[in-house]
Structure formats: structure tokens, C-alpha cells
Amino acid sequence: MATNLAIDPDLLERALAVSGEKTKKAAVTKALTEFIARREQKRLVELFGKFRWDPDFDYKSERSRR
């Protein structure tokens, strides 16, 4: 899927420099991948403390291969 974007050239050059990628496409792809990963991690962190822990839960029983 071809997409044309107007990206700030200075920002794109900085992304190329810090990413170590050789092409603009690779740098943008890496940046988007890292952006998505960070946002997903942030959502997980926000869940900390929202679940109640059951001290009687036997997590080892869930690992058995029966």
C-alpha cells in the first residue's frame, strides 16, 4: 500500500541518524514499531493495581501438561 506523507525533513534525518537504518522507509517503520510497542506497554502499566490478587491461586497447577 503506497502512502504519501509530508514528514518534517529534519525530523526524518534525525530518525535516520539515531536508528542506524539505511533507508527512510526502514527508519519510519522502526519508529512506528517502537511507538506502538511503547503505547501497548503503557496500557499494561496502567492496569497494575487494578486486579485483585488471589493468594490461594496455584499457578504451578496451570503449568502441568497432564
Q: pLDDT for 32-61, tens place per residue? A: 999 999 999 988 888 888 888 888 888 888
Q: What is the value of pTM for the model shown?
A: 0.65
Instruction: Work out the pLDDT band at 12, boundaries 50, 70, 90.
Output: very high
The pLDDT score that the predictor gives to residue 30 is 96
Q: CB 10: neighbour CB atoms within 10 A? A: 8
Q: In terms of C-beta density within 10 A (0-12 exposed, 13-18 middle, 19 or more buried), how is residue 40 classed?
A: exposed
Q: CB 63: neighbour CB atoms within 10 A? A: 7
Separation between Cα atoms, residue 9 and residue 15, nearest integer Å = 10
C-beta of residue 55 within 8 angstroms of C-beta of residue 43: no
